[in-house]
Structure 1
Amino acid sequence: MLAFRLVLHALRQLTDNARTVLLLGWPSLFLAIALEFALFRPWDVSPIGPGTPEGLIALELEGREAMPAGIFLAGQAAAFVAYLLLAVSWHRHILLAEQPQLLRRGRARQAGGYALAFALMGLLVGVAIVPFVIILSAPSAGYQLSMASAVSWYAVKIAATTLSLRLMTALPGFALRSGEPLAAAWRATRGRGGTLAIIATLTVTMGPLASPWTALIMAGALQLGLLGASVLSGMLSLLGMLIALSVLTTLWGHFVEGRALR
């Protein structure tokens, strides 16, 4: 089945480029850990958004001062920039055989175009699912979800992820500065909705299945102290990002450029 071949190809892409994973991944991981300790640890809080229910309750119970919103947003912005550099560098290395470097001439322009495209795609997906969210939210007031409502939410998540995959197939093209990558990706994935839906289903399903194991691993890592837990948390996040980037690179390479799958 094509969907599973695409996913397997994306995973092999990571193992076949282990050196590149280290060259690009470790600087990003180091930056993320440094940001956490520099911005979050002085306030003795986990990097949760100020104003969230969890954050407010924790602050009230423990009598701690709230982290200024500006510090939190600065950390999120810096992390997003690190992700952009990683994404663009990964796409260009795999598709153009460019030397794996986070920073090089022209990288700011490439990352800027990538960021704008990413934001536009997020907006389009958000607008597309708003009617469904409004409809499904009405009967679920009070957090009392029926089985039918839960299944409906699951279906909406899969549909939104499928649309996201079709749109974001163009992201490697923006990294390459290709002409009209969104139009090219949309044409190339016409009639591939079933394949993308299977990948979306895997994505939506694996998250909840992996959460208990991730929580168990993190609980064990806390025994190593904050630094050990931060390193492990960063490695898990980095692995998830690289898998997602490899899937998008594979979708662009196969559907748009016509590259063969192994």
Structure 2
Amino acid sequence: MKAWQIFTHSVRQVFGNLTDALRISGLLYIVQMMIVVAMGVTSGDVMQINPAKMLLVVAVALVFSLWIAVAWHRFVLRGEGGTSLLPPFHGPEALRYLGRSLLIGLVIAAVAAVLGMAIMPLGLMLAGPLLGAMIGSLLLMVPVFMVMLRLSIPLPAIAMGESIGFNEGWKATYGETGVFFGLALLLAVFSILLGVPESLFRPDSIPALLWTLTSGWVQMMVGVSILTTLYGHYIEKRPLV
């Protein structure tokens, strides 16, 4: 099943190159999380946070996430990276990456809003509050992830200073709806399972915080790696090995 191959290839991309993954993302991610914790964003009382502090947290998270994503794409696809704990910052590429991501985000938000109004009430009605919410989330995440993944295929090209349009990525994956359904399902289940251990801890406890930070890093790196794998396979015609 190609969806499983893409998913496992992406996971191996991170954990098979764990030293490089930590070198490229570790320091940036730790600093980002230190700022998040210092501002109290993980305390659960987000509404009480000063808007200026929240804006700072969002700005830092955005810049650092773009920095990591661009550096990881370039490392995997072009072998760039060096030995520094702070990867090179490719400003123009990161800015274009941001612009394209915002456009994708608008499309995804619209799709999620329309589907959410229909799916979530249905899930709650059929299966009750807890199970219904989980089923509803899964039913919502799969189609949203399918659209997101296909639209996001050009992002690794942008990270490398190249340019392909949404239509090129869409055409390259024509006829692969089943693959993207399977991949979206795997990614949705993966995301839900990563969140389960956190519910076992008291929300304001150290174990809960540590799991949130660890699972956040894993989800970020696997997500970026899936886009890298999709671009490498469908655009550069690399085999899934």
Q: CA deviation at 1:210?
A: 3.5
Q: Rate the CA distance shift 1:220–1:153 in 2: closer, same or farther, 3 A.
A: closer
The answer to whether structure 1 residue 112 and structure 2 residue 92 are counterparts is no
The answer to whether structure 1 residue 146 and structure 2 residue 143 are counterparts is no
| Matched residue, 1:192 | 176
| Matched residue, 2:139 | 155
CA contact (8 A) 2:24 2:81 kept: no
| One-letter code aligned to 1:68 | N
Q: Rate the CA distance shift 1:76–1:4 in 2: closer, same or farther, 3 A.
A: same
Q: Alignment partner of 1:145: what SS? A: helix
Instruction: Answer with 1 or 2: which has the greater Rg.
Output: 1
Q: Alignment partner of 2:80: what SS? A: coil
Q: Rate the CA distance shift 1:128–1:254 in 2: closer, same or farther, 3 A.
A: same
1:170 counterpart (146, 151, 154): 154
| Matched residue, 1:12 | 12
| Matched residue, 2:71 | 89
| Matched residue, 1:25 | 25
The answer to whether structure 1 residue 79 and structure 2 residue 92 are counterparts is no
The aligned length equals 235
1:243 counterpart (222, 228, 234): 222
Q: Which digits, 9 at most, give the CA deviation of each residue in 1:7-35, with x for residues without a partner?
A: 11112211332221121122123212320
| One-letter code aligned to 1:89 | A
The answer to whether structure 1 residue 132 and structure 2 residue 115 are counterparts is yes
Q: Alignment partner of 1:127: what SS? A: helix
CA contact (8 A) 1:36 1:47 kept: no
| One-letter code aligned to 2:198 | T
| Matched residue, 1:53 | none
CA contact (8 A) 1:33 1:230 kept: no
Q: CA deviation at 1:82?
A: 0.8
| One-letter code aligned to 1:99 | G
Q: Which digits, 9 at most, give the CA deviation of each residue in 1:74-114, with x for residues without a partner?
A: 11221121111000000011111112565536x11111111
TM-score (norm 2): 0.84
Q: CA deviation at 1:73?
A: 2.1
What CA RMSD, in Å, does the superposition of the two structures yield over aligned residues?
A: 3.0
Q: CA deviation at 1:215?
A: 3.2
Q: Rate the CA distance shift 1:213–1:128 in 2: closer, same or farther, 3 A.
A: closer
CA contact (8 A) 1:32 1:79 kept: yes
| One-letter code aligned to 1:91 | H
> Which region of structure 1 is more displaced relative to structure 2, 144-153 or 175-184?
144-153
Which whole-Å CA distance do the structure 1 matches of 2:169 and 2:27 have between them? 30
Q: What stretches of structure 2 of length at least 5 have no aligned partner? A: none
Which whole-Å CA distance do the structure 1 matches of 2:19 and 2:171 have between them? 34
Give the share of equivalent positions with the same residue, in percent. Answer: 23
TM-score (norm 1): 0.78
